[in-house]
Amino acid sequence: MSAITCKFGGTSLADAACIREARAIIDANPERRFIVPSAPGKRTPDDRKITDLLYLWHNIALQGLDASEPRNIIADRFVELARELGVSFDIQPLLDEIAACVCDSESPDYMASRGEYLNGRLIAELLEATFVDPAECIKFDDTGNLDPATYDLLGARLQGPGRFVVPGFYGSTPNGAIKTFSRGGSDITGSIVARASNSKVYENWTDVSGFLMADPRIVPNAKHIAEVTYQELRELSYMGATVLHDEAIFPVRGPGIPINILNTKAPGDAGTRIVASRESKFPVCGIAGRAGFSMVNVEKVGLNKERGFGLQILSILDHENVGWEHMPTGIDTISLIIRDDELKDKGPAIVKEIERRCSPDRVSLNKGLAMIATVGVGMNHHIGIAARLCSALANAQVNLRVIDQGSSEMNIIVGVDEPDLNKAVCAIYDAFDNWG
Ligand code: ASP
């Protein structure tokens, strides 16, 4: 029988009622055999996520202060969940074990992972499923990347009848220490489990019915996206569409396992299907943007002929340990677009070093840039896309500071002043909605 991997996000498991809904979804299809839970999330907008409380607990305890408040809130929530769900196992010894280990490491990863671990234990009991601890079979290598041996190790643990519960968000390093993915990383675990179990589909159950063509806070009636390719989604989620972790597609992309983004509150909704390839009627499938970029502009007459000029600049960034996003160039100019959270306060040092090592005519650092990606596989060989996009921005009185089209011709990235971000997204959306 071919199987399905189901990952449930924190809001879909926030309380006993949500967990019962998740169980009804799992029970509705016997193929849903591999279950990946997040830690319980917020029950109301001003509630706290268990993971946030675990980070807080670790932080307070490391400073030698009294962490009883977060510890008690966490304990109460799990005890209450177990009671309301009628789960028979005693959660208290597990909580005591965590409390005893809180200061064992400077790294918060062990503590942060315990939300998924406890929820996984609880849900495995509820579903009468086999519990598989990712510490034993999701492995990171010495550089912090996923060790490909994970797929065989985990695959071997997912053999046999019945259901399996694999908590999201963590694995372990070669020396056995717990290590988490970045925040929201249970999506990545779901994808790893789907691949290791050879699932026919990876269902990612969350609190929305898939993706919209643009952020609904900016474009209120943005259309639903029925199907999107892995590649399109990478572009969109990287640039701000946050439904799925932007690394979650890597494990399933090779074997071509589709991901369905589905809504636990509306399980009958179609959701969005993420696939390897698709036919597209319209050139543009989505528009995503975000603020918080800076641009380093380097000018030197004839720099395009100067051997190793670009390389020097990149090695300066490398030396400062700063990654870059885009590098539009002209004959006499090179610009580097860098995320502010990557650049931190290193901008002036980078400018100084470029002045020292590259002797440019001019170098400047400009902040306050927002980047917008307009994405769609149907844009390839479609005449007039950039013209339409630029005139939409011009009509909306938005100044275009950067434009960059990927050679795959499936995205056009523009940079605008941060205050123009929403206006620009609306203008691009209106220009491409139903056009093509
Ligand atoms: N619980 C973790 C977080 O809050 C991981 C996840 O939910 O995916 O980031």
| 298, part of any domain | yes
Ligand 1 geometric centre to CA of 184 (Å): 4
Ligand 1 geometric centre to CA of 42 (Å): 11
What atom in ligand 1 is closest to the CA of residue 181?
Answer: 5
One domain for residues 322 and 253: no
One domain for residues 260 and 361: no
Nearest CA to ligand 1 atom 8: 184
One domain for residues 221 and 351: no
One domain for residues 249 and 320: no
We report the CATH number of the domain holding residue 36 as: 3.40.1160.10
Nearest CA to ligand 1 atom 5: 184
| 143, part of any domain | yes
Closest C-alpha to 274, from 219, 222, 204, 207: 204
| 308, part of any domain | yes
Ligand 1 geometric centre to CA of 368 (Å): 29
Cα(316)–Cα(201) distance, rounded to whole angstroms?
44
| 281, part of any domain | no
What atom in ligand 1 is closest to the CA of residue 169?
Answer: 5
Q: What is the best residue among 8, 36, 169 to mutate for testing ligand 1's pocket, by most ligand atoms within 8 Å of CB? A: 169
One domain for residues 252 and 354: no
One domain for residues 88 and 163: yes
Ligand 1 geometric centre to CA of 110 (Å): 13
One domain for residues 216 and 322: no
One domain for residues 182 and 296: no
Would you say 115 and 178 are in contact if contact means Cβ atoms under 8 Å apart? no
**Predicted pLDDT of residue 357:** 94
One domain for residues 267 and 340: no
* Pocket-forming residues, ligand 1, beta carbon under 6 Å: 10, 38-39, 49, 51, 115, 168-169, 183-187
Q: Which two tokens stand for residue 399?
A: 């100044």
Ligand 1 geometric centre to CA of 10 (Å): 7
Ligand 1 geometric centre to CA of 163 (Å): 22
| 90, part of any domain | yes
| 342, part of any domain | yes
One domain for residues 28 and 172: yes
> Which of 275, 296, 323 is the endpoint of a domain?
275
Residue the block writes with tokens 């989505």: 286
Cα(255)–Cα(270) distance, rounded to whole angstroms?
23
Record the pTM. Answer: 0.87
Flag residues of the chain having pLDDT under 50. none
> Which of 219, 251, 275 is the endpoint of a domain?
275
Nearest CA to ligand 1 atom 6: 184
Q: What is the best residue among 49, 50, 51, 188 to mutate for testing ligand 1's pocket, by most ligand atoms within 8 Å of CB? A: 51
Question: What is the domain range of residue 221?
Answer: 4-275
Would you say 32 and 6 are in contact if contact means Cβ atoms under 8 Å apart? yes
One domain for residues 206 and 303: no
Cα(242)–Cα(287) distance, rounded to whole angstroms?
13
Q: How far is CA 123 from CA 59, 146, 178, 288, in A?
A: 28, 26, 21, 35
Q: What is the best residue among 36, 38, 170 to mutate for testing ligand 1's pocket, by most ligand atoms within 8 Å of CB? A: 38
Domain count, the chain: 2
Ligand 1 geometric centre to CA of 169 (Å): 6
**Predicted pLDDT of residue 241:** 67
Ligand 1 geometric centre to CA of 37 (Å): 10
**Predicted pLDDT of residue 381:** 83
Total length of the chain: 436
**Predicted pLDDT of residue 199:** 98
